[in-house]
């Protein structure tokens, strides 16, 4: 008898893809790790494709896994919409939402969520603007946007705004597969500091990187600086240096097809927090609150963004 695909399998698969580890997925779903493994293996058998590459430090989605992950989340969104009787509520929902997003959020987090929202609310127009953090904070102060989506861990005084955490993404050290440290199960900050470092200069990544070492961050051996995440992947993959970045933007291959390892850091390192922001004096209402609640609900079951889900950065209108 042919086995049936279940929503539980979808949920376990999404949890594994979101966390990058079967063990973490098991904890979030309150089941045994073998239950996660069994669900994934059952899906792979029925689909006749491999959904994950198994790595020493976790799992990452294959190309086929990426496609299935996108569809699986749409399935779960549709189920959740049905349970909330969304089909009765969304037919007449229309209007425009003014949203600003920063580099990392726009390129590696928001597009899929926007697609899922448009699927449920096709009559809603999204006025999306690409902004750096400083410009986004000014737009919030001016109330020229309804919502901002950015790295709230980079905002010194986030209490000035209404805010809500969406995703907390761990940071790991990226190395080339051939790097001497690549075989270790964890790498200390002291070991990383002795290596040439590739510094990303967008979305406050440079200050976040040096901040891992506190007062000693200025002594970091910076080999190269770049504002391009794809360039950084290539430089790391070819062994020019290492870099600490979040799982939100991790992908195990450079554009040239060179392997990139992401290894846990032995010392405490602050995660990267992605969240919603809005003017404190303008609590979201109506359509804006509908979008806010959609993002919150979509992200509530995910502790981290899916590893290897990053795609080329989309273009957005700049102001």
Per domain, the residue ranges of the chain are 7-83, 94-169+274-318, 171-263
Asked if residue 205 lies in contact with residue 245, where contact means CB atoms within 8 angstroms, the answer is: yes
pLDDT at 3: 63
Asked if residue 87 lies in contact with residue 81, where contact means CB atoms within 8 angstroms, the answer is: yes
Distances (CA, A) of 7 to 3, 12, 78, 79, 140: 13, 9, 12, 9, 39
Place of tokens 């049936």: 4
Read off the pTM: 0.72
DSSP 111-123: HHHHHHHHHH-TT
Place of tokens 């494709």: 49
pLDDT at 92: 63
- Looking at domain 171-263, its CATH class is alpha beta
DSSP 39-90: HHHHHHHHHTS--EEEETTEEEE-HHHHHHHHHHHHHHHHHHHHHTTHHHHS
Cα–Cα distance, 190 to 180 (Å, whole number): 15
What does the block give as tokens for 251? 């992908």
Topology alike, domains 7-83 and 171-263? no
pLDDT at 307: 40
**Spans of the chain, pLDDT less than 70:** 1-3, 81-92, 217, 301-319
pLDDT at 313: 37
Counts of helices then strands in the chain (DSSP H, E): 12, 13
Instruction: Please check whether the domain covering 94-169+274-318 is classified as CATH 3.40.190.10.
Output: yes
Asked if residue 254 lies in contact with residue 261, where contact means CB atoms within 8 angstroms, the answer is: no
- Looking at domain 7-83, its CATH class is mainly alpha
């Amino acid at each position: 008898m042919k086995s049936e695909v279940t929503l539980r399998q979808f949920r376990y698969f999404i949890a594994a893809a979101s966390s990058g580890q079967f063990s973490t997925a098991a904890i979030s779903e309150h089941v045994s790790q073998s239950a996660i493994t069994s669900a994934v293996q059952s899906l792979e058998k029925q689909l006749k494709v491999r959904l994950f590459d198994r790595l020493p430090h976790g799992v990452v989605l294959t190309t086929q896994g990426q496609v299935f992950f996108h569809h699986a989340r749409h399935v779960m969104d549709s189920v959740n919409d049905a349970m909330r009787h969304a089909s009765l509520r969304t037919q007449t929902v229309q209007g425009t939402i003014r949203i600003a997003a920063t580099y990392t959020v726009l390129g590696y987090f928001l597009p899929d969520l926007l697609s899922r929202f448009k699927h449920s609310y096709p009559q809603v127009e999204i006025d999306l603007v690409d902004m750096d953090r400083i410009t986004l904070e000014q737009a919030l102060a001016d109330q020229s946007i309804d919502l901002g989506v950015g790295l709230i861990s980079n905002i010194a005084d986030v209490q000035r705004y209404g805010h809500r955490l969406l995703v907390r993404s761990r940071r790991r050290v990226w190395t080339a597969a051939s790097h001497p440290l690549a075989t270790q199960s964890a790498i200390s900050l002291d070991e990383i500091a002795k290596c040439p470092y590739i510094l990303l200069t967008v979305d406050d990544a440079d200050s976040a990187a040096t901040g891992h070492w506190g007062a000693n961050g200025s002594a970091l051996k910076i080999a190269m600086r770049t504002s391009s995440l794809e360039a950084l992947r290539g430089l790391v993959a070819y062994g020019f240096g290492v870099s600490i970045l979040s799982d939100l933007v991790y992908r195990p291959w450079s554009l040239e097809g060179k392997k990139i390892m992401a290894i846990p850091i032995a010392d405490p390192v602050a995660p990267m927090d992605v969240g919603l922001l809005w003017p404190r004096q303008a609590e979201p209402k109506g359509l804006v609150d509908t979008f806010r609640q959609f993002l919150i609900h979509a992200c509530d079951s995910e502790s981290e963004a899916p590893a290897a889900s990053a795609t080329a950065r989309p273009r957005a209108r700049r102001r």
